[in-house]
């Protein structure tokens, strides 16, 4: 039952991701299915069987684990329910054929030369939406981890002077998830141009700069955050870490103690204080 629930969750997540971006999932799409076994002959036999049902062998190759991968494709129309049925059928087929593993599926445009998610179709989705609808749509995209298009929709909110500060902060979150620290910092600085007393913007520039080993900048922005809120122990811990990394142990110890005064349960600060005393 757990495997079925996992499949349902996976299907729902991917279908929703596609539908949010304008893909009509109730139309013919190119579905791919993946089978694994150490015995190439068993996969060839399975491939022959599936070809009689209209599937096409995309590739049969060996991977780094010395295991063969059989990738089959077919243009099909599926709902969430019919796709689940198909995956369960492949589970049963694999078991009956003594195939070690049926593991996963993917979906693409029925015309492989075209992208599944069309930028033009996505932009068309934005037409006639109010600012409030755009903002809520951007948040929904973010919540579903569709970061690039979420950034695009937040751009429209910003251009319309709607929820500017919040839209900029949400864009920072997107870039942070995408692993783009420079763009993350750029968005946070845009927030500070809009609102110089934005605590989270200062704090996060401090944290990202620390991760980039730009400790001087980290200290500057952590200290700006402490000027806005001098009751947050994590800010002083961040300052202490940055000073520690540039060898200014007295300042590191001073800020570490402030952090522990504000929160005696800050275990990270306790460990850092030990490191300072042993340095």
Kindly report the CATH number assigned to the domain that includes residue 239: 1.25.40.10
Number of domains in the chain: 2
The confidence score (pLDDT) of residue 4 equals 86
Task: Give the containing element (helix H, strand E) for 245.
Answer: helix 233-245
95 & 158 share domain: no
Please, which contacts does 200-204 make with residues 24 or more away whose CB atoms are closer than 8 Å? 200/169, 201/169, 201/172, 202/228, 203/232, 203/234, 203/235, 203/238, 204/172, 204/176
Residue 113 is assigned to a structural domain of this protein: no
**What pLDDT is recorded for position 15?**
97
Q: What is the per-residue pLDDT for 65?
A: 82
Q: Which of 56, 75, 108 is the last residue of a domain?
A: 108
Indicate whether 60 belongs to any domain.
yes
Do 155 and 49 lie in a common domain?
A: no
Asked if 95 and 163 sit in the same domain, the reply is no
Tell me if 257 is assigned to some domain.
yes
102 shares a domain with 138: no
Residue 254 lies in a domain: yes
Q: Which pTM value belongs to this model? A: 0.86
Nearest in space to 77 (alpha carbons), one of 141, 23, 30, 42 = 30
C-alpha 249/C-alpha 223 separation (Å) is: 17
Q: What is the CATH number of the domain that holds 70?
A: 3.30.70.970
Tell me, yes or no, whether 147 lies in a domain.
Answer: yes
Res 279: pLDDT? 81
The confidence score (pLDDT) of residue 1 equals 57
Q: Are residues 272 and 161 in the same domain?
A: yes
List beta partners, residue 37.
68
* pLDDT beyond 80 at 95: yes
**CA 82 to CA 65: how far, in whole Å?**
32
Whole-number pLDDT of residue 3 = 79
Do 149 and 103 share a domain, yes or no?
Answer: no
| 265 CB-contact burial (10 Å; exposed 0-12 / middle 13-18 / buried 19+) | exposed
The pLDDT tens digits for 239-263 are: 999 999 999 999 999 999 999 999 9
Return the pLDDT at 61: 95
The predicted pLDDT at position 101 comes to 92
Same domain, 227 and 250: yes
Instruction: Name the residue range of residue 39's domain.
Output: 2-108
**Confidence class for position 2, pLDDT limits 50, 70, 90:** confident
> CA 67 to CA 54: how far, in whole Å?
25
User: Which domain-ending residue is among 56, 78, 108?
Assistant: 108
Listed residues 60, 82, 108: the one ending a domain: 108
75 and 192 belong to one structural domain: no
10 and 101 together in one domain: yes
3-state secondary structure of 55: coil
CA distances from 251 to 231, 233, 239, 243, 276 (A): 18, 15, 9, 6, 10
Q: Is residue 235 part of a domain?
A: yes
- The string of pLDDT tens digits covering residues 3-13 is 789 999 999 99
Q: Is residue 114 part of a domain?
A: no
Residue whose entry in the numeric block shows the structure tokens 């029925």: 110
Tens digits of per-residue pLDDT, 116-162? 998 888 999 999 999 999 999 999 999 999 999 999 999 999 999 99
Structure letter (DSSP) for residue 39: -
Both 22 and 79 in one domain: the answer is: yes
Domain match, 230 and 154 both: yes
Q: Are residues 23 and 98 in the same domain?
A: yes
Could you report the per-residue pLDDT of 171-198, keeping only the tens digit for each?
999 999 999 999 999 999 999 999 999 9
Tens digits of residue pLDDT in 34-87:
999 999 999 999 999 999 999 999 999 998 888 999 999 999 999 999 999 999
Angle subtended at Cα 210 by Cα 209 and Cα 213, rounded to the nearest 5 degrees: 90
> Does residue 262 sit within a domain?
yes
At 146 the three-state DSSP class reads coil
For the CA atoms of 224, 225, 230, 235, what is the dihedral angle to 10 degrees? -120
Collapsing DSSP to helix, strand or coil, 58 comes out as strand
């Amino acid at each position: 039952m757990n495997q079925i629930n996992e499949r349902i969750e996976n299907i729902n997540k991917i279908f929703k991701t596609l539908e949010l971006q304008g893909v009509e999932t109730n139309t013919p799409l190119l579905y791919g299915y993946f089978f694994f076994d150490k015995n190439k002959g068993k996969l060839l036999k399975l491939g022959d069987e599936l070809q009689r049902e209209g599937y096409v062998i995309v590739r049969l190759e060996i991977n780094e684990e010395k295991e063969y991968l059989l990738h089959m494709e077919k243009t099909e129309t599926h709902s969430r329910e019919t796709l689940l049925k198909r995956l369960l059928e492949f589970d049963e087929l694999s078991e009956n054929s003594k195939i070690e593993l049926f593991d996963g599926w993917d979906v693409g445009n029925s015309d492989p030369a075209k992208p599944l998610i069309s930028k033009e179709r996505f932009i068309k989705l934005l037409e006639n939406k109010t600012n409030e609808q755009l903002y809520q749509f951007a948040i929904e995209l973010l919540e579903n981890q569709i970061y690039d298009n979420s950034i695009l929709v937040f751009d429209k909110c910003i251009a319309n002077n709607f929820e500017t500060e919040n839209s900029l902060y949400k864009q920072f979150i997107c870039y942070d998830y995408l692993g783009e620290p420079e763009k993350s910092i750029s968005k946070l600085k845009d927030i500070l141009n809009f609102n110089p007393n934005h605590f989270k913007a200062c704090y996060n520039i401090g944290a990202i700069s620390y991760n980039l080993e730009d400790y001087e900048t980290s200290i500057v922005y952590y200290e700006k955050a402490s000027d806005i809120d001098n009751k947050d122990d994590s800010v002083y811990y961040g300052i202490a870490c940055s000073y520690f990394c540039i060898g200014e142990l007295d300042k590191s110890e001073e800020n570490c103690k402030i952090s522990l005064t504000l929160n005696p349960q800050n275990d990270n600060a306790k460990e850092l204080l030990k490191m300072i005393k042993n340095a």
